[in-house]
Chains A and B, each alone.
Chain A
Amino acid sequence: MGQPVTFRRRAVGEMGTPKPAAVGRAARRFMGKRQWAIDDFTPMEETRDRARMIRLHTLANLHRYLGQFADSVERNGGTVLWAADAAEANRLISEVVGRKEGSLVIKSKSMVTEELDLNAHLQGDGHTVVETDLGEFIVQLAEDHPSHIIAPVMHLTRQDIGALFHERLEIPYTDDPEELNAVARRHLRRFFLSADVGISGVNTGIAETGSIITVTNEGNGWLTTAAPRTHIAVMGMERLVPTFEDAATIVEVLARSATGQRLSVYTNVVSGPRRPGDPDGPDEFVVVIVDNGRSRVLSTDASEILACIRCGACLNVCPVFREVGGHAYGQVYPGPVGSVLAPGLADFTEAADLPFASSLCGACREVCPVRIDIPKLLVHQRVRAIRENDPFRWLGPGLKLYGQAAKRPRVWKSLLAAGRVAGRMKGRDEWFHRLPFHAKGWTQSRDFPAPARQSFRQWWKENRDGT
Chain B
Amino acid sequence: MERSRFLGTVEEAVGAATLPGLPAPHPGRAVPDLAEVDLTPHFIEAFELLDGVVHWGAALEVITGIMTERGTEEFLSWDQEHLPADGLLSALAERGYRRISTTLPADPEGRVPHQMGYMDARVGISAAVAAFAESGSVVVTSGPGRSRLASVIPAVHVVLVPTDRIFRSLSHWAAQVESPGRLANLMVISGPSRTGDIELTLTRGVHGPGEIHAVLLQ
**A residues bordering B, Cβ < 8 Å?**
1, 3-4, 7-8, 10-13, 15-21, 23-27, 29-31, 33-36, 38, 40-42, 47, 49-50, 53-54, 56-57, 59-63, 66-67, 70, 72, 75-76, 80, 82-84, 88, 132-135, 138, 151-154, 156-158, 161, 177-178, 180-182, 184-185, 188-190, 192-194, 206, 208-211, 217-220, 222-223, 225-227, 229, 237, 242, 244-245, 247-249, 251-252, 259, 261-275, 277-281, 283, 289, 291, 295-296, 298-301, 303-304, 373
Which residues from chain B contact A280 at a C-beta distance below 8 Å? 102-104, 115, 142, 147-149
Smallest distance from the beta carbon of B141 to chain A beta carbons, Å? 9
Determine whether the beta carbon of A53 is less than 8 Å from that of B26. Answer: yes
- Once A38-B42, A211-B181 are accepted as A-B contacts, the answer to whether A181 and B198 lie under 8 Å apart by CB is yes
Instruction: Given contacts A244-B177, A248-B171, list 13 more A-B pairs with CB under 8 A.
Output: A26-B56, A30-B44, A38-B42, A53-B27, A57-B26, A57-B27, A62-B14, A134-B195, A220-B207, A262-B190, A263-B132, A279-B146, A303-B17
Determine whether the beta carbon of A249 is less than 8 Å from that of B171. Answer: yes
Determine whether the beta carbon of A222 is less than 8 Å from that of B203. Answer: no
Which residues from chain A contact B199 at a C-beta distance below 8 Å? 156-158, 177
Determine whether the beta carbon of A11 is less than 8 Å from that of B51. Answer: yes
Partner of A66, one of B7, B30, B104, B216: B7
Smallest distance from the beta carbon of B54 to chain A beta carbons, Å? 5
Does B180 sit at the interface, judged by CB under 8 A?
Answer: yes
Does B96 sit at the interface, judged by CB under 8 A?
Answer: no
Determine whether the beta carbon of B170 is less than 8 Å from that of A63. Answer: no
Does B74 sit at the interface, judged by CB under 8 A?
Answer: no
Determine whether the beta carbon of B207 is less than 8 Å from that of A60. Answer: no
Q: In this complex, what residue of B is CB-closest to A65?
A: B10
A-facing residues in B40-82 (Cβ within 8 Å): 40-42, 44-46, 48, 51, 53-58, 61-62, 65-66, 68-69
Determine whether the beta carbon of A225 is less than 8 Å from that of B2. Answer: no
Which residues from chain B contact A33 at a C-beta distance below 8 Å? 38, 41
- Once A83-B1, A193-B118, A280-B104 are accepted as A-B contacts, the answer to whether A56 and B20 lie under 8 Å apart by CB is yes
Determine whether the beta carbon of A177 is less than 8 Å from that of B201. Answer: yes
Partner of A134, one of B25, B29, B145, B198: B198
**B residues bordering A, Cβ < 8 Å?**
1-3, 5-14, 16-27, 29-30, 34-35, 37-38, 40-42, 44-46, 48, 51, 53-58, 61-62, 65-66, 68-69, 102-104, 108, 111-112, 115-116, 118-119, 132-137, 142-149, 152-153, 168-175, 177, 179-211, 216
Determine whether the beta carbon of A298 is less than 8 Å from that of B202. Answer: no
Which residues from chain B contact A135 at a C-beta distance below 8 Å? 195, 197
Q: In this complex, what residue of A is CB-closest to B206?
A: A218
Which residues from chain B contact A67 at a C-beta distance below 8 Å? 3, 7
Residue with the highest number of chain A CB atoms closer than 10 Å, among B55, B146, B209: B55
Residue with the highest number of chain B CB atoms closer than 10 Å, among A21, A189, A296: A21
Residue with the highest number of chain B CB atoms closer than 10 Å, among A8, A18, A279, A304: A279
Determine whether the beta carbon of A7 is less than 8 Å from that of B179. Answer: no
Determine whether the beta carbon of B147 is less than 8 Å from that of A279. Answer: yes
Determine whether the beta carbon of B10 is less than 8 Å from that of A291. Answer: yes
Q: List 30 A-B contacts (CB under 8 A).
A: A4-B202, A7-B51, A12-B53, A16-B69, A21-B54, A21-B56, A21-B57, A23-B54, A25-B56, A29-B56, A41-B134, A41-B168, A82-B1, A134-B198, A135-B197, A138-B197, A180-B198, A188-B207, A209-B179, A227-B149, A262-B46, A266-B187, A266-B190, A267-B187, A269-B180, A279-B103, A291-B10, A295-B13, A298-B14, A304-B20
Q: In this complex, what residue of A is CB-closest to B203?
A: A181
Partner of A279, one of B14, B46, B102, B112: B102
Which residues from chain A contact B24 at a C-beta distance below 8 Å? 53, 56-57, 59-61
